[in-house]
Structure 1
Amino acid sequence: MSGLFISYRREVDAGWAGRLAADLKRDLPDRLVFHDIASIEIGEDFGIAIERALGHCAVLLVVIGPGWLNVQHPHGGRRIDDEDDWVRIEILAGLKGNLRVVPVLMGGASMPRGNQLPDALKPLVRRNAHEITDKRWDYDVGELVKALGRIPAHGAGRIVAPPAVTPPPHIPVAHDLPAPGTVFRHGPDFPELVVLPAGRFLMGSPENEEGRSTDEGPQHEVTIARPFAVGRYPVTFAEWDAFVAAGGTRHKPNDEGWGRGRQPVIHVSWKDAQAYLAWLRDQTGQPYRLLSEAEWEYAARASSQTRYPWGIDPGKNKANFAGSGSQGSKRQTSPVGSFAPNAFGLHDMIGNVWEWVQDTWHDNYQGAPDDGRAWEEGSDSRVLRGGSWFDGPVICRAAFRLRNSPDDRFYVLGFRVCCAPPIV
């Protein structure tokens, strides 16, 4: 049993945990990486799924950010003091079992002192921690990978069961979403969704960013006040063809000979996207819609503020765009999920296909909403974000914006869904 289980506070540490999980999956391809709730299938019992996963693991990585210890329960008091708290249950199970428990300190966090922890968790302070800093992320993760490679797999395959609790129901509805990081879907023919946390970010690009256009400013702070669910991938041909088969539309887009299935759907207009979303609402009873432009950029950046979600430079094989080094570069779309996800667990936010958002076009952000709402006054043109397989690296920056008529259908145009009530 050689798997790695990542435990984290979804309210405050989801970004770090997601990035760490992606790096470990890349650098340790022969090790199962259980990314906590993000690896639990819809409808599974939390306690049983966690117990089963820990039984396959040799290491429990406890991600600890600056706010980890003091996250508050909705009914008052610290979550860590609640015997039904899932992070507490995971750590306790690891300490009682035959796993190596490794605290991973993120964002400058310090190891909690014994008198700050519940009695049951005080043994955690005796476990040697590993620090990962943002400035030296790649080096620090590399050192962790080396250390993990030296930890032998445990042979017993046994883990002491967590304390008996009654798990909360796992009903993914948009008005009462699961915790950030959860992956779910409302049916086999519908898009997979990832729950994103609430947060704040700087929208647009700074004036000194290479390749910047004036319509990307002024840079301004936007607050996303509540979690929301976003398509894990752009809508695929398989999902669109299910829409056609159900009689929801007669429009069967041309796939240009690149294949259907997991290829992102193309040749769809903003109005086509709205028809698909109306069908999803009718089929599921859930508030499906397009992302606002602000929500899209928040989701794409995933706590980053650089030109690309992964850094300043375009890099190689990070996404599908011209000059990216990917197989589809300047040739065609790639199957969704061909590249590593961003820190929120979203794939293909950059490149592959342009993604329609709800907003109408404005020449700059003067007067733009600061709460994540779609900005729909004025122009008839609609905004597209993210770039495509055909476009170069400057166009595929996180801040770049494009506009088209809502009736346009081209071989670079697709979209991604959101499931959350509109911000009003």
Structure 2
Amino acid sequence: MNTIVISYRRQDSRDAARMLLERLLHYFPGRVVMGLEGLLPGENLRLKAEQQMQDCRLLLVLIGPDWSHIADDRGRPRLQDRRDWVRLEIATGLQRGVPILPVLLGSTPMPDEHDLPSELHSLLDLQPQRLDDGAGRSAALTGLVEAIRRQLGEADELLALVTAPAPMPAPMPEAISVAGSAEVLPLRRADGSRVTPAPPLPARAPARSAAEPLEHGGWPAWALACGRDEIGAWAEIGVDGVRQRLRRIEPGMFLMGAGPSTPERFADELPRHPVTLTRAFWLADTACSRALWSALLGDDPALHRARPDLPVDSVSWNDIQALFLPALAHEIGYGARVRLPTEAEWEYACRAGQRGSFHFGEVASAAWMHVGGEADGPLPVQALPSSAWGLHQMHGNVWEWCQDAKRRYDSEPALDPQGDPVDIGRALRGGSWAGPARWARASCRFEAPRSQRLDDAGFRFLIEV
């Protein structure tokens, strides 16, 4: 049954409507539809509106800056046309007593009474919800979800964070120091230009032992330093004084997706199925920081800029593919193949050999991840303890872009699976500071258009063996 309908004008708010649909489906799977979808030639518009409102429990009316002023071919505002679909949709909802929530995009005000037909005047009596289009969008989305739940009379399902400290992990290897180098980076040039990638860094003697050979390929030539610690093999790269450690992830088999009894699972996480990864890879132990992005490209696209060791945000999948990855491959040289992890590689690394919702267990804990929607932004990329595989904040802080699109799961075993390369969207994993713990589970999946820039999304890269 359709419970939430998103009413929008294509010329005014289609992108916002699509984004909102994708976000709301995480909270209300199978219960959100777009109001303008499914109209056929010759179809009775009024009857279609009646049928749609019959099953509607909440109508979200997206109002952008041009919502009430968009005109038809004769220059007449569309809202003044009694056959206008948006007008029909709202009027039918008002007549049937369907709960309606106006959603104002950005700084858009509520429309003036003289811009509305008389049958829509009661829309002005409703308290709107604002959806910011800047750094506050993620927090505004969380507020919108809460408002929707109140309208539907449903209990709040946001998973409360456990504040008691979690068991401490095994002793950590000595932290990498970037102090002093990161503060003096040119975070943005005055003319807005980017840095031309420098020639490959000269080879350094890696800190390795001939008595400790690696399986599935040797020590990487691109590493400034590499070695082993109690966690496993590591390697480091450097760009203009900013270091990034990578952890070697060995091939293996794991169960991908959520089990039938997993709490708060979404439908696209089922069924759980065996996946085998046949190739080792080197995965960055943190999300890409502002310092590393700025050192490599000479600009700073992030909205959250309090510290250079915050994760870079507001970068699209297209930005990463066109700018960061080729520049980094050129910088470190030696034919390094740099890319984003696939969904399967990401989840395998996130789980770190565990089958639960999180690499540290089944219960969310603030000692291990930064989520909840109450913070103003992300934490530094190494602020919280790492997993057993040496990876920091795979749960929470920022969503992380994956190389591939979401694929449809089935119960059959999969070998190095990837999503459809021609799909318009790409997967994101891990949840964020702006969302609930439910989104940060190892099996939770999100997808966004490749061109989308989100203030709570970043990435971590891998280098193939």
TM-score (norm 1): 0.56
For 1:304, the equivalent position in structure 2 comes to 354
Q: What are the equivalent positions in structure 2 for 1:9-408 lying under 5 Å apart?
A: 23-25=169-171, 43-44=206-207, 46=209, 84=211, 171-172=220-221, 181-188=232-239, 189=242, 191-245=244-298, 252-256=300-304, 258-274=305-321, 275-284=323-332, 285-322=335-372, 330-362=375-407, 364-366=408-410, 370-377=414-421, 379-408=423-452
Q: Which amino acid aligns with 1:365?
A: Y
Name the CA shift for 1:24/1:404 in 2 (closer, same or farther; >3 Å): closer
Please name the residue that 1:134 is paired with: none
Counterpart AA for 1:224: L
Q: Deviations over 1:274-320 (max 9, x none)?
A: 12111112222300001000000000000000011100100232111
Q: 1:178, 1:195 within 8 Å by CA — same for their partners in 2?
A: no
Deviation string, structure 1 residues 28-69 (Cα, Å, up to 9, x no partner): xxxxx789xxxxx9723538xxxxxxxxxxxxxxxxxxxxxx
> Residue by residue, what CA displacement relative to the aligned partner does 1:296-347 show, whole Å, maximum 9, x if unpaired?
0000000000011100100232111117xxxxx5321000111111111000
SS at match of 2:349: helix
Report if aligned partners of 2:395, 2:430 keep a CA contact under 8 Å in 1.
Answer: yes
Asked if structure 2 preserves the Cα contact closer than 8 Å seen for 1:307 and 1:397, the reply is yes
Shift in alpha-carbon separation, 1:409–1:172, aligned structure 2, 3 A: same
Structure-2 change in CA distance of 1:42 and 1:182 (3 Å):
farther
Q: Which amino acid aligns with 1:23?
A: P
**Which residue number in structure 2 is paired with residue 120 of structure 1?**
none
Larger radius of gyration: 2
Find the aligned partners of 1:357 and 1:369 in 2 and give their Cα distance: 21
Q: 1:243 to 1:24 in 2, by over 3 A?
A: closer
Q: CA deviation at 1:207?
A: 1.3
Seen in structure 2, the aligned counterparts of structure 1 residues 309 and 280 have a Cα distance that, compared at 3 Å, is same
Distance in 1 between the 2:268 and 2:401 partners?
A: 17
Q: Specify whether residues 259 and 205 from structure 1 end up closer, same or farther in structure 2 by C-alpha distance, changes over 3 A only.
A: same
Distance 2:212 2:316 in 1: 45
For residues 326-369 of structure 1, the C-alpha deviation after alignment (integer angstroms, 9 at most, x for no partner) is: xxx5321000111111111000111010000011134x313888
Structure 2 stretches lacking a partner, 5+ long = 1-166, 176-203
Residues 111-136 of structure 1, C-alpha deviation per residue, up to 9 Å, x if partnerless? xxxxxxxxxxxxxxxxxxxxxxxxxx
Letter matched to residue 212 of structure 1: R
Q: Is the 8 A contact 2:209 2:227 kept in 1?
A: no
The AA in structure 2 aligned to 1:254 is: A
Tell me by how many angstroms 1:412 deviates. Answer: 0.4
Q: Structure 1 residue 192: deviation in Å?
A: 2.0
Q: Which amino acid aligns with 1:182?
A: A
Whole-Å separation in 1 of the counterparts to 2:267 and 2:256: 13
CA offsets, 1:151-203, max 9 Å, x none? Answer: xxxxxxxxxxxxxxxxxx954459xx977822212324463211112211000
Cα distance in 2 for residues equivalent to 1:331 and 1:266: 13
Distance in 2 between residues matched to 1:226 and 1:402, nearest whole Å: 25
- The 1:419–1:190 alpha-carbon spacing in structure 2 relative to 1, beyond 3 Å, is farther
Q: Are the structure 2 counterparts of residues 186 and 369 from structure 1 closer, same or farther at C-alpha, using a change threshold of 3 Å?
A: farther
User: Counterpart amino acid of 1:44?
Assistant: A
Q: Is the 8 A contact 2:368 2:393 kept in 1?
A: no
Cα deviations by residue, 1:228-280 (Å, 9 ceiling, x for unpaired): 100110000001101222xxxxx631333x42411000010001111211111
Inter-partner Cα distance in structure 1 for 2:381 and 2:367: 14
Q: Secondary structure at the match of 1:25?
A: coil
Q: TM-score w.r.t. structure 2 length?
A: 0.51
1:417 maps to 2:465: no
Q: What secondary structure is seen at the aligned counterpart in 2 of 1:186?
A: strand
Q: Secondary structure at the match of 1:331?
A: coil
Q: Rate the CA distance shift 1:233–1:368 in 2: closer, same or farther, 3 A.
A: farther
Work out whether residues 368 and 375 of structure 1, in 8 Å CA contact, stay in contact via their aligned partners in 2: no
- In 2, the alpha carbon distance for the partners of 1:407 and 1:369 equals 32
Name segments (4+ residues, structure 1) moved above 4 Å.
169-174, 177-180
- For residues 267 and 237 of structure 1, the distance between their equivalents in structure 2, rounded to whole angstroms, comes to 11
8 A Cα contact 1:262 1:336, kept in partner: yes
Counterpart contact for 1:236–1:265, Cα < 8 Å = yes
Q: 1: distance between equivalents of 2:205 and 2:399?
A: 29
